[in-house]
Structure formats: C-alpha cells, structure tokens
Structure 1
Amino acid sequence: MSLNSIGLDSKKAADLAKDLNVLLANFQIYYQNLRGIHWNIKGKTFFDLHVKFEELYNDANIKVDEIAERVLTLGATPLHTFEDYMSKAQVPVGKDVSKDENAVRLIVDSLTGLLKIERALLNHSDEANDEGTNSMMSDFITEQEKTVWMMKAWLNETV
C-alpha cells in the first residue's frame, strides 16, 4: 500500500476524490437551482422564500468551495465545467420554477439526491480512514437532513 502525503492510501484517496467530484458536480447543479428559484419565485410567499433561497444558495456556494478544496487536498483536480457537471448530474435540474411549492419540492428532491451521494461517500471515507472527508460528509448530512425536515414541514408533509 502506497500512502500519500496526508497519510491515506493513495488508491483510496484517488477513488474518494473521484466520488467527491460527483458530489461537486451535483452541488453545482443544486446551487444553480437555488439561484434560479431565488430569482424567479413569485406569489404571496415571495418575501419569505426569496430570503430563504438566498441563505441556501450562499451556504451551497461555501460547500462547493469546501468540496473542491477537499478534492485538491486528496491530490486530484476538481471538476470545473458545466459539461462535467451535467455529465455527472443525479439531482434534478429546475427550469423556470416560480411557484412556491414547486420550488420547495425541488429543494427537497435535490437534497435527497445529495444525501444519497454523501452517505455513500461517508461509507467510503470511513473505509479509507479519511477523517477529513468523513467529518465533512457528516456535517453536510446533519445540516441537510434538518433542511429537508423544515422544507417538508413547509409542504405540510412528514419526513
């Protein structure tokens, strides 16, 4: 087994970076979805949702940077083209979403997709003894589960 400069198995680190790039691509799509619904939301809940969507896209933007920096820390190159993002897309792409319920549903569906990717990454990072990625995924999952719960409550649905 060959170790990289941060003490991880080089092959496992490369595999994790590949998986993180999939997460990065999907987070970029989620981020763009949030920008779109922030710009296009209409109706009686405009003021509340416009602010909430801005909060979410600012958070997603920070997470995109954290994911890309983790890919670099593992010794790989982060994906950075829309072509790459679309080829790895697993979360839905929202287009012309302006109705409040559809916008919130898009967030729930996107986060559900991101959580699946993150849980798989959490398992892989645990197997690779990669505490950095493990901790990041754990934090993301905890926060996103709460957001899903809140959005589902807004939709008057249970988790």
Structure 2
Amino acid sequence: MTLNSIGLDTQQAKELANDLNHLLANFQIYYQNLRGIHWNIKGKRFFDLHVKFEELYTDANVKVDEIAERILTLGVTPLHTFEDYMATAQVPVGKAISQDEKAVKLIVDSLKELLKIERGILDKSGDANDEGTNAMMSDFITEQEKTVWMMKAWLGETV
C-alpha cells in the first residue's frame, strides 16, 4: 500500500476523489437549478421563496468549492466544465420552472439524489480512514436531511 502526502492509501484516495467529482457534477446542476428557480419564481409566495432559494444557492456554491478543494487535497483535478457536469450528473435538470410547488419538488428530488451519492462516499471514506471526506459528507447529509424535511413540510407532505 502506498500512502499519499496526507497519509491515505493512494488508490483509495483516487477512488474517493472520482466519487467526489461525481458529487461535484451533481452539485453544480443542483446549484444551477436553484439559480433558475430563484430568478423565475412567480406568484404570491415569491418574496419568501425568492429569499429561500438564494439562501440555498449560496450554500450550494460554498459546498461546490469545498468539494472541489477536497478533490484537490486528494490529489485529483476537479471537473470544471458544464460538458463534464452534464455527462456525469444524475440530478434532475429544472428548466423554466416558475411555479412554487414544482420548484420545491425539484429541490427535494435533487437532494434525494445528492444524499444517495453522499451516503456512498461516506461509506467509502470511512473504510479508507479518510476523516476529512467523512466529516464533510456527514455534515452535508445532516444539513440536507433537514432541508428535505422542511421542504416536504412546506409541501404538506411527510418525510
């Protein structure tokens, strides 16, 4: 086993970085979806949702940077083109969504996909003794589960 400069198995670190690149691509689509619904939301709930969507896209933008920097820390180049993001991502793309419930459902559906990816990375990072990636995924999961709960409550649904 060969260790990298931060003490992780080189092959496991590379595999985790590849998984993080997959997450990065999905987060970029999620971020762009949030920008779109922030710009295009209409109706009586505009003021509340416009602010909420801005809060969410600001948070997603921070997470995109954290993911990319973790990929670099693991010794791999982060994906950085929309071509790569579109070829890699599975988060649904929201186009011209202006209706409040459709926008919130897009967020819930996107977070469901992100949570699946993050849980897979969490399992692998635990096995690789990669506490940096592990802690990041744990924090992301905790925050996103709460957001799903809140969005589902807003929709009048249960988790």
**1:53 matched residue in structure 2:** 53
Matching residue's letter, 2:153: A
- Deviating above 2 A after TM superposition, structure 1's stretches of 4 or more consecutive aligned residues are none
User: Distance between the aligned counterparts of 1:10 and 1:55, measured in 2?
Assistant: 37
**1:24 matched residue in structure 2:** 24
Matching residue's letter, 1:48: D
Q: How far does residue 89 in structure 1 lie from its aligned partner after superposition? A: 1.1
User: Distance between the aligned counterparts of 2:113 and 2:90, measured in 1?
Assistant: 7
Matching residue's letter, 1:54: E
**1:147 matched residue in structure 2:** 147
Q: Give a deviation string over 1:25-56, Cα, whole Å, max 9, x none.
A: 00000000000000000000000000000000
Q: How far does residue 23 in structure 1 lie from its aligned partner after superposition? A: 0.2
Matching residue's letter, 1:129: N
Q: How far does residue 131 in structure 1 lie from its aligned partner after superposition? A: 0.1
Structure 1 length-normalised TM: 1.00
User: Distance between the aligned counterparts of 1:84 and 1:10, measured in 2?
Assistant: 24
**2:118 matched residue in structure 1:** 118
**1:130 matched residue in structure 2:** 130
User: Distance between the aligned counterparts of 1:97 and 1:13, measured in 2?
Assistant: 38
Give unmatched runs, 5+ long, in structure 1.
Answer: none
RMSD: 0.2
Structure 2 length-normalised TM: 1.00
Q: Percent identity?
A: 81
**2:100 matched residue in structure 1:** 100
Q: SS where residue 54 of structure 1 aligns?
A: helix
Matching residue's letter, 1:46: F
Give unmatched runs, 5+ long, in structure 2.
Answer: none
User: Distance between the aligned counterparts of 2:71 and 2:3, measured in 1?
Assistant: 16
Within 5 A, what are the aligned runs for 1:68-83? 68-83=68-83
